[in-house]
């Protein structure tokens, strides 16, 4: 199938573009195989019903009274999965991570679509007032924001070490009919010794848009302000 109707394409360009197209097709098929393996994972371990702090849904409420909510209560109905993004903020991470913030900017925009199929929450080690202040600054309005600072949730899931150093992580959970919560899957940026930053790039389209260009992503890094 011809990709464009442009004139002036050299034979070398046409050949290289076809080679790239075939590689893109194989990459898509491989992603489908990886997704199938992920879906076929056997039941994961039952986890503690961790306790979090949550504020009112309206961020304009400022530092209004917070409430406690358990992990099992984050599922809004039967037959739903729960996606948790671990924001690097709190304890040793005294400022919100710019890269995590970039991802969550995108999550806020698509949360209403994700909600048709799964529940999505953001968890940080930061206290709830600081977390909500950051959310107001970013104009996040569609996400549940939870503080796990007083629990071992982030440590147990590998997004925090014993010294309180934070790591960006995504985790998925399911809930059994009897209410027990099971861990399904977690992923971190570091996948191997030679892959220490790109393990969860698929969570943001920014990288993929940059990868479409001849200059690629280079050494660019997200910032809270530009």
pLDDT tens digits for 77-114? 999 999 999 999 999 999 999 999 999 999 999 999 99
CA nearest neighbour of 99 among 110, 83, 112, 86: 86
Vertex 19, ends 13 and 24: CA angle to 5°? 120
**How many residues can be counted in the chain?**
226
Report pLDDT for 2: 54
90 DSSP assignment: B
Locus of tokens 């809930």? 175
Residue 180 zone, left/alpha/beta (φ > 0; ψ -120 to 50; rest): beta
User: What confidence tier does 3 reach under pLDDT thresholds 50, 70, 90?
Assistant: low
Report pLDDT for 1: 52
Q: Is the pTM above the cut of 0.85? A: yes
pLDDT (mean) for 132-144: 95
Report pLDDT for 192: 86
pLDDT (mean) for 121-145: 96
Determine how many CB atoms are found less than 10 A away from the CB of residue 124.
31
Beta bridge partners of 82: 119, 173
CA nearest neighbour of 71 among 157, 160, 188: 157
CA nearest neighbour of 107 among 139, 143, 55, 147: 143
Q: Is the distance from CB of 160 to CB of 167 less than 8 angstroms?
A: yes
Strand residues in the chain grouped as ranges (E): 51-54, 67-70, 81-87, 118-124, 144-147, 169-175, 181-187
The fraction of the chain above a pLDDT of 70, given in percent, is 96
* 107/138 Cα distance (integer angstroms): 12
Pairing of β 169-175 and β 181-187: antiparallel
* 119/94 Cα distance (integer angstroms): 28
* 8/14 Cα distance (integer angstroms): 10
Both tokens assigned to 132: 């909500």
Task: Kindly tell me if the per-residue pLDDT of 6 is higher than 80.
Answer: no
User: What confidence tier does 118 reach under pLDDT thresholds 50, 70, 90?
Assistant: very high
* 226/37 Cα distance (integer angstroms): 39
* 162/51 Cα distance (integer angstroms): 19
pLDDT tens digits for 139-168? 999 999 999 988 999 999 999 999 999 999
């Amino acid at each position: 199938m011809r990709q464009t109707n442009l004139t002036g394409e050299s034979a070398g360009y046409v050949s290289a573009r076809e080679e790239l197209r075939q590689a893109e097709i194989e990459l898509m098929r491989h992603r489908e195989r990886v997704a199938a393996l992920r879906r076929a994972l056997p039941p994961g371990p039952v986890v503690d019903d961790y306790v979090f702090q949550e504020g009112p849904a309206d961020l304009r409420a400022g530092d209004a009274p917070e409430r406690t909510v358990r992990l099992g209560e984050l599922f809004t109905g039967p037959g739903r999965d729960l996606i948790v993004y671990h924001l690097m903020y709190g304890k040793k991470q005294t400022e919100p991570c710019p890269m995590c913030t970039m991802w969550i900017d995108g999550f806020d925009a698509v949360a209403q679509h994700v909600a048709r199929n799964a529940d999505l929450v953001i968890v940080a080690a930061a206290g709830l007032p600081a977390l909500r202040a950051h959310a107001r600054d970013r104009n996040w309005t569609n996400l549940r924001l939870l503080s796990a600072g007083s629990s071992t949730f982030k440590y147990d899931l590998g997004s925090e070490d014993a010294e309180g150093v934070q790591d960006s992580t995504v985790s998925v959970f399911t809930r059994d009919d009897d209410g027990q919560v099971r861990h399904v899957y977690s992923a971190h940026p570091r996948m191997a010794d030679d892959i220490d930053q790109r393990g969860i790039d698929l969570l943001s389209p920014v990288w993929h848009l940059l990868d479409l260009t001849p200059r690629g992503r280079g050494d660019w890094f997200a910032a809270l302000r530009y």
